[in-house]
Amino acid sequence: MSEKKKLSLTSRIVIGMVAGIILGTIIRYVAGDNAWVSLYLTNGLFDVVGQIFITSLKMLVVPLVFVSLVVGTCSLSDPSKLGRLGGKAVGMYMVTTAIAITFAIGSAILVQPGSGIERASDASFEPSEAPSVSEVIVNLFPDNPINAMAEGNMLQIIVFALLFGISMALVGKPGERLKGFFDDLNSVIMKLVVILMNLAPYGVFALMAKLFTEIGVEMIGSLAKYFLLVLFVLLAHGLIVYPLFMRVLARVKPGIFMRKMRDAQLFGFSTASSNATMPITLETVTRRLGVSNSVGSFTVPLGATINMDGTAIMQGVATVFIAQVYGLDLGVAEYLMVIMTATLASVGTAGVPGVGLIMLAMVLQQVGLPVEGIGLIIGVDRLLDMTRTAVNVTGDAMVSCVVARSEGDFDEDVYYDNDAGKKLEEL
Ligand code: ASP
């Protein structure tokens, strides 16, 4: 008997996503006020399944980052390579973010998304306190690594894992013995990632079904110009700028990169969190794109924490938009300030849903724009958050490939092999 051809994981996730969007939209317009539907479906089944899905992804992040980074670092032949790697990755992350935000500001100045918009009198937003640059730097170092793990403080976990891995490499025999243990642990955690990936279609379905009972296209309303402009710049950055980097700096055919990144992008889109998507990004980068584990295990968590090009794009457009709505003029110096602040701000912020708006408060304050302006765009932010997270995740993977290529840690055979990593993805 011929076996039925199994749909690819990507297709199954897309089906789950589309079905969820359709069902959520139907519920919103047909059964929005039905108490039974709201109690048992929207806030019952969909909510429970969606929450469990996101929570299980997050559950993997801390053990995965720590273990894979220790494995990656302790097998580095030359620990000084780490400094070079770190420098390159941070440099690339900053440069791509600065490019993204410059592109966004330029487009917004051209399109003028804020012209003709009435300032809503009820716009309100309470900014939270942003940390200073020196605090951000000191906070890289954990005083208690267990605490850092308990809090999910990614940068502190990265620093501890690097120091731990380097010591393992330097100590000789005990380090080698421990490496076997960490290798095994890494395989087990990766298996767990694969199991979760295979459950993703259901999780994504539930997340979308719940979300789309809450948001509808009519919410975009007068913000259509702003919304579409952010979307356009996000897509252009993801579909033109990244492939260009892949072609020029990683020196590979970019179409393959975009195809292999689809799963991670779908995860990013449906969870709106680069952090929660990190296990999938890491799996894609190391097993499917050909980046060595020692580079990927370092650059991916670092990127998920400090690299947010999509977020910077939203911030660029939003700053110009808010200035226009409030009738305030920004000069070149202020725009440069926006580029600098947004680029630096992204370093100190975690990849969780909605965090881009908090960072925007910092940027607005820096150039003297009213922070309440954020209240104007909050209503359409969720959909943009989802899209920009997909861009953020793609940026992390792109930089990982470029850095790996420059270090000679990039396996082209894996990159060009369509089936690379597929076997491991099967349960
Ligand atoms: N949700 C985004 C992320 O996790 C951050 C943001 O822009 O709010 O990458």
Segment 171-192, tens digit of pLDDT: 989 999 999 999 999 999 989 9
Q: Is 308 in the pocket of ligand 1 (CB under 6 A)?
A: yes
Q: How confident is the model at residue 125 (pLDDT cuts 50, 70, 90)?
A: low
Question: Residue range 358-377: average pLDDT?
Answer: 87
Helices (H), 285-380: 293-306, 309-325, 332-345, 355-366, 374-377
Give percent of the chain with pLDDT exceeding 70.
93
Q: Is 409 in the pocket of ligand 1 (CB under 6 A)?
A: no
Ligand 1 nearest atom to the CA of residue 353, by list position: 1
Cα–Cα distance for residue pair 174/168, rounded to 1 Å: 7
Ligand 1 nearest atom to the CA of residue 352, by list position: 4
Residue 302 C-alpha to ligand 1 middle, in angstroms?
Answer: 14
Question: Residue range 121-146: average pLDDT?
Answer: 75
Cα–Cα distance list, 35 to 151, 209, 211, 342 (Å) = 37, 16, 17, 43
User: Structural domain tally of the chain?
Assistant: 1
What is the predicted pLDDT for the residue at 120? 58
Question: Residue range 385-413: average pLDDT?
Answer: 96
In a domain, 2, yes or no: no
Probe residue for ligand 1, chosen from 237, 273, 302, 383 as the CB with the greatest number of ligand atoms within 8 Å: 273
What is the predicted pLDDT for the residue at 37? 83
Question: Residue range 292-318: average pLDDT?
Answer: 93
What is the predicted pLDDT for the residue at 6? 75
Q: Which of 194, 287, 285, 242 is nearest to 391 (CA)?
A: 242
What is the predicted pLDDT for the residue at 423? 63
In a domain, 4, yes or no: no
The answer to whether the CB of 102 falls within 8 A of the CB of 315 is no
Q: Which of 284, 318, 322, 265 is nearest to 424 (CA)?
A: 284
In a domain, 200, yes or no: yes
What is the predicted pLDDT for the residue at 67? 93
Residue 61 C-alpha to ligand 1 middle, in angstroms?
Answer: 16
Only one residue has tokens 């270090």, namely 407
In a domain, 389, yes or no: yes
Helices (H), 75-142: 80-111, 133-138
Residue 349 C-alpha to ligand 1 middle, in angstroms?
Answer: 9
Q: How confident is the model at residue 422 (pLDDT cuts 50, 70, 90)?
A: confident
The string of pLDDT tens digits covering residues 71-83 is 988 877 677 788 8
Is the pLDDT at 379 greater than 90? The verdict is no
Domain that holds residue 205: 9-425
Residue 115 C-alpha to ligand 1 middle, in angstroms?
Answer: 27
What is the predicted pLDDT for the residue at 179? 93
Ligand 1 nearest atom to the CA of residue 314, by list position: 7
* DSSP character string of 361-399: HHHHHHTT--GGGHHHHGGGHHHHHHHHHHHHHHHHHHH
Q: Is 156 in the pocket of ligand 1 (CB under 6 A)?
A: no
Mean pLDDT over the full length of the chain: 89
Cα–Cα distance for residue pair 119/322, rounded to 1 Å: 9
The half-sphere exposure of 334 on its side-chain side, counting CA atoms within 13 A, is 16
Is the pLDDT at 425 greater than 70? The verdict is no
Is the pLDDT at 324 greater than 70? The verdict is yes
Ligand 1 nearest atom to the CA of residue 389, by list position: 9
Question: Residue range 326-331: average pLDDT?
Answer: 88
What is the predicted pLDDT for the residue at 217? 74
What is the predicted pLDDT for the residue at 122? 55
Is the pLDDT at 123 greater than 60? The verdict is no
Is the pLDDT at 2 greater than 50? The verdict is no
Question: Residue range 98-113: average pLDDT?
Answer: 93
Residue 380 C-alpha to ligand 1 middle, in angstroms?
Answer: 14
In a domain, 132, yes or no: yes
Q: Is 309 in the pocket of ligand 1 (CB under 6 A)?
A: no
* pTM (global) more than 0.85: yes
Amino acid at 337: M
Q: How confident is the model at residue 45 (pLDDT cuts 50, 70, 90)?
A: very high
Tell me which range, 114-123, 296-305, 396-405, is most confidently predicted by mean pLDDT. Answer: 396-405
> Ligand 1 atom 1: the closest Cα is on which residue?
353
What is the predicted pLDDT for the residue at 124? 60
Left if phi > 0, otherwise alpha if psi is -120 to 50, otherwise beta: which for 152? left
In a domain, 3, yes or no: no
Probe residue for ligand 1, chosen from 270, 388, 391, 393 as the CB with the greatest number of ligand atoms within 8 Å: 388
Q: Is 398 in the pocket of ligand 1 (CB under 6 A)?
A: no
The set of residues, in sequence order, having a beta carbon less than 8 Å from that of 263 and lying 6+ positions away, is 9, 10, 13, 197, 280, 284
Question: Residue range 216-244: average pLDDT?
Answer: 90
Probe residue for ligand 1, chosen from 54, 58, 274 as the CB with the greatest number of ligand atoms within 8 Å: 274
What is the predicted pLDDT for the residue at 129? 65
Tell me which of 90 and 427 has the higher pLDDT: 90
Least confident of 103-107, 119-123, 248-252, 324-328: 119-123
Q: Which of 405, 343, 423 is nearest to 98 (CA)?
A: 343
Probe residue for ligand 1, chosen from 267, 269, 317, 355 as the CB with the greatest number of ligand atoms within 8 Å: 355
Q: Is 203 in the pocket of ligand 1 (CB under 6 A)?
A: no
Is the pLDDT at 371 greater than 70? The verdict is yes
Question: Residue range 5-22: average pLDDT?
Answer: 89
In a domain, 1, yes or no: no
Residue 234 C-alpha to ligand 1 middle, in angstroms?
Answer: 13
CATH number, domain containing residue 314: 1.10.3860.10
Q: Which of 132, 153, 1, 166 is nearest to 62 (CA)?
A: 153
In a domain, 155, yes or no: yes
